[in-house]
Amino acid sequence: MTRHDSQTRRTDIDRQWWKEAVVYQIYPRSFNDSDGDGVGDLQGITEKADYLADLGVDVVWLCPVYESPNADNGYDISDYRSIMDEFGTMADWEALLDALHERDIRLIMDLVVNHTSKQHEWFQQSRRREDGYDDYYHWVDGTPSEPPNNWESIFGGPAWTYDDERGQWYLHLFDPEQPDLNWRNPEVRDAVTEAVTWWLEKGIDGFRLDAIDHLSKSDAYPDGDPDSAIVGIEHFSHGPRLPEYLDELSAAFEGYDTMIVGEMGGADIEQVDDYTGEDGVDMIFQFDHMGVSVGPNGRWDPTQFGEWELTDLKEVISQQQDEIDWPALFFGNHDQPRLVSHFGDDETYRTESATLIATFLLTLRGTPYIYQGEEIGMTNTEFDSLEAIDDPMTVGIVEDLIADGVVDSYEEVRDLVDYQSRDHARTPMQWDDTENAGFTADDPWFDVNDNYDEINVESALADTDSIWHHYETLIELRHSEDVLVYGDYDLLLPDHDQFYAYTRTLENETTLVVLNWSDECSTFDCPSVPTADANVVVSNYDDTPSDPTGHAFRPYEAVVYQL
Ligand code: TEU
């Protein structure tokens, strides 16, 4: 099913389609609204199937489209086998799958099975202690005034809520509307496997497994270290039975030609390979590189955020490249700030820095994931009040910071929110410069970023030097050059504070990537690499000389050379 067969295809490589694929992540609510209700939908995605094919991506990852009351925009599923009304019908889903497959694009979906929605019938039956469902969730005795332990939710507040109907506490690592399934119960695991098989039989090509580092909890529910950024995390991340659960889950995929990527917010680089391979998943989202801009107290410390050193990024990425069997490559997603605002310069050098990050993403070893809007350089927006925020995580954390007296008001934490909120990634896709950026004919469910008149797909497609066309070129290059997929990664100039440079080598082929990750010029000189016969393959400036040595790289100049 590979569309872009290399001219000189090697036969001596352990090829996997998911290693050669470029993935495009869609947040359906914010992608394209076909029926004018202000909310993106499945038909809206189908309308853009040609757009995705033109960009050249091989896989679409769809964030949850299952039935959900939307306490966390679909990450709270109330029925694993039906489609959320706002997004359309099962027939719409089937039509989308067909439209993508006709264009040789595969479809994977989020599978959220650490927890369900409170509205899921399993929870409703469980809270009534119905036969067979009694033990589907983590229920613990206790008086209504005192939670069973000090664990905190990842979204702020306690990780326990008292349920009056059942007269017990239930565990929720995320929102109170997202009770954690009890994976110790084999019937829960069977029910999940059945849902997975149901979708595989419908023709889905794989899954992104949400928050799977949390499936196994400590045997009892002991108090966590009160000084931890998320209290209790040592008891609910990478629990003792996680390998067993993943092994069991992965058995459900056997016999299907799938791609499975697991999200593990809390996995160390050293842990990743324990969960991949035959008894596990194909690859894991590991997050250390996303943390270079936050302090030791984590992502939501209002006193420390936003500063980062290129040498730190090099160290983390190089460790991932060297130690992880097959990395999942990403610099943004629906939970992160916009990549050009996070790692680039979203004002003066927006085009240059966005194309630099694109060059980086698409020339590293691993499977690259592009998040919707990155291909046109969409930026962070601004939130002038807590009411302007939709994301339950941002709201919960800000409320905690105020309740704990860390800050007195939203104003004091606004800079952090404007830097970090998950909502930056969730503003509607900017298709053109008409009202609401062409996303919807009605009022959009969430405000469009004001800069849509300048940053939009229509103008990007019309400009051959745009960020969009740079993505297109790099994706095509990756598809035609095995060295970019399978070649070894070797870091150059590890201590240089402006250049991020590396080679990719496959037998006698070497590609050199030089990124001037700075708004200042710098002259490249790296005696260990012979560059006299180099050729420029792709550059984000149009007059880059063929030999990088001695060239004064301009702000965010990013070049791929063949040596
Ligand atoms: O996010 C999971 C998530 O928040 C973790 O990565 C967490 O930060 C980490 O484990 C703490 O160490 C996923 C989805 O991507 C997100 O959109 C959902 O809100 C969340 O799960 C709940 O389903």
pLDDT in tens, 310-352: 999 999 999 999 999 999 999 999 999 999 999 999 999 999 9
Indicate if ligand 1 lies below 6 Å from the C-beta of 213: yes
Indicate if ligand 1 lies below 6 Å from the C-beta of 163: no
| CA distances to 37, 287, 318 from 270, in Å | 46, 12, 13
CA of 172 to the centre of ligand 1 (A): 12
- Please choose, from the candidates 411, 344, 421, the residue with its C-alpha nearest in 3D space to the C-alpha of residue 381: 421
Nearest atom, ligand 1, residue 76 CA: 23
Burial 127-147 (b: 16+ CB within 10 A, else e): beeeeebbebbbbeeeeeeeb
The overall average pLDDT reported for the chain is 96
- Please choose, from the candidates 63, 59, 114, the residue with its C-alpha nearest in 3D space to the C-alpha of residue 333: 63
pLDDT score of 480: 97
Nearest Cα residue to atom 14 of ligand 1: 210
| Residues 362, 367, 371, 373, Cα dihedral to 10° | 30
- Please choose, from the candidates 8, 11, 40, 13, the residue with its C-alpha nearest in 3D space to the C-alpha of residue 26: 40
CA of 175 to the centre of ligand 1 (A): 11
Confidence band of 9 (pLDDT split at 50, 70, 90): low
pLDDT at 3 over 50: no
Confidence band of 153 (pLDDT split at 50, 70, 90): very high
Give the mean model confidence (pLDDT) for residues 287-295. 94
- Please choose, from the candidates 428, 418, 370, the residue with its C-alpha nearest in 3D space to the C-alpha of residue 398: 418
Catalytic residue among 263, 282, 352, 375: 263
Residue 476's Cβ-side half-sphere holds a number of Cα atoms within 13 Å equal to 11
pLDDT in tens, 455-507: 999 999 999 999 999 999 999 999 999 999 999 999 999 999 999 999 999 99
Give the mean model confidence (pLDDT) for residues 522-533. 96
pLDDT score of 11: 65
Which pair of tokens denotes residue 226?
């009160």
pLDDT score of 13: 85
Q: Is 263 a catalytic residue?
A: yes
The Cα–Cα gap between 314 and 205 comes to 33
Indicate if ligand 1 lies below 6 Å from the C-beta of 76: no
Nearest Cα residue to atom 17 of ligand 1: 335
- Please choose, from the candidates 363, 475, 391, the residue with its C-alpha nearest in 3D space to the C-alpha of residue 58: 475
Nearest Cα residue to atom 16 of ligand 1: 335
Confidence band of 279 (pLDDT split at 50, 70, 90): confident
CA of 393 to the centre of ligand 1 (A): 9
CA of 266 to the centre of ligand 1 (A): 10
Fill in the DSSP letter of residue 435: G
CB of 246 closer than 8 Å to CB of 252: no
Query: Best substitution site from 30, 177, 210, 393 to test ligand 1's pocket, by max atoms within 8 Å of Cβ?
Result: 210
DSSP H helix total and E strand total for the chain:
17, 20
- Please choose, from the candidates 50, 61, 72, 49, the residue with its C-alpha nearest in 3D space to the C-alpha of residue 22: 61
pLDDT score of 8: 53
pLDDT in tens, 214-245: 999 998 999 999 999 899 999 999 999 999 99
Indicate if ligand 1 lies below 6 Å from the C-beta of 174: yes
Indicate if ligand 1 lies below 6 Å from the C-beta of 92: no
- Nearest 5°: phi and psi at 193? -60, -40
pLDDT at 1 over 70: no
Which pair of tokens denotes residue 535?
């050729």
Confidence band of 446 (pLDDT split at 50, 70, 90): very high
- Please choose, from the candidates 542, 545, 543, the residue with its C-alpha nearest in 3D space to the C-alpha of residue 531: 545
In 3-state terms, what secondary structure has residue 115? strand
The Cα–Cα gap between 496 and 519 comes to 15
Tell me whether residue 480 is exposed, middle or buried, using C-beta atoms within 10 angstroms of its C-beta: 0 to 12, 13 to 18, 19 or more: middle
DSSP characters over 376-401: GT------SSGGG---HHHHHHHHHH
CA of 484 to the centre of ligand 1 (A): 30
Nearest Cα residue to atom 9 of ligand 1: 265
Using a pLDDT cut of 90, give the percent of the chain over it.
Answer: 94
pLDDT in tens, 37-73: 999 999 999 999 999 999 999 999 999 999 999 999 9
How many CB atoms neighbour CB 308 within 10 A?
15
pLDDT at 294 over 70: yes
pLDDT score of 10: 64
CA of 323 to the centre of ligand 1 (A): 24
Query: Best substitution site from 152, 214, 263, 336 to test ligand 1's pocket, by max atoms within 8 Å of Cβ?
Result: 263
Nearest Cα residue to atom 18 of ligand 1: 75
Indicate if ligand 1 lies below 6 Å from the C-beta of 266: yes
Using a pLDDT cut of 70, give the percent of the chain over it.
Answer: 98
Indicate if ligand 1 lies below 6 Å from the C-beta of 157: no
Residue 171's Cβ-side half-sphere holds a number of Cα atoms within 13 Å equal to 29
Which pair of tokens denotes residue 253?
């995929």
Strands 558-562 and 535-539: antiparallel
Which pair of tokens denotes residue 36?
């004018």
CA of 551 to the centre of ligand 1 (A): 43
pLDDT score of 6: 45
pLDDT score of 296: 85
CB of 165 closer than 8 Å to CB of 144: no
CA of 408 to the centre of ligand 1 (A): 27
Residue 175's Cβ-side half-sphere holds a number of Cα atoms within 13 Å equal to 21
CB of 327 closer than 8 Å to CB of 366: yes
CB of 248 closer than 8 Å to CB of 272: no
Give the mean model confidence (pLDDT) for residues 166-173. 98
The Cα–Cα gap between 172 and 152 comes to 9
Helix axes 350-363 and 467-480, enclosed angle (nearest 10) = 20
The Cα–Cα gap between 378 and 398 comes to 25
- Please choose, from the candidates 444, 423, 397, the residue with its C-alpha nearest in 3D space to the C-alpha of residue 341: 423
Query: Best substitution site from 62, 75, 207, 264 to test ligand 1's pocket, by max atoms within 8 Å of Cβ?
Result: 75
Residue 361's Cβ-side half-sphere holds a number of Cα atoms within 13 Å equal to 28
Indicate if ligand 1 lies below 6 Å from the C-beta of 75: yes
pLDDT in tens, 98-130: 999 999 999 999 999 999 999 999 999 999 999
pLDDT in tens, 197-210: 999 999 999 999 99
Indicate if ligand 1 lies below 6 Å from the C-beta of 210: yes
How many CB atoms neighbour CB 244 within 10 A?
14
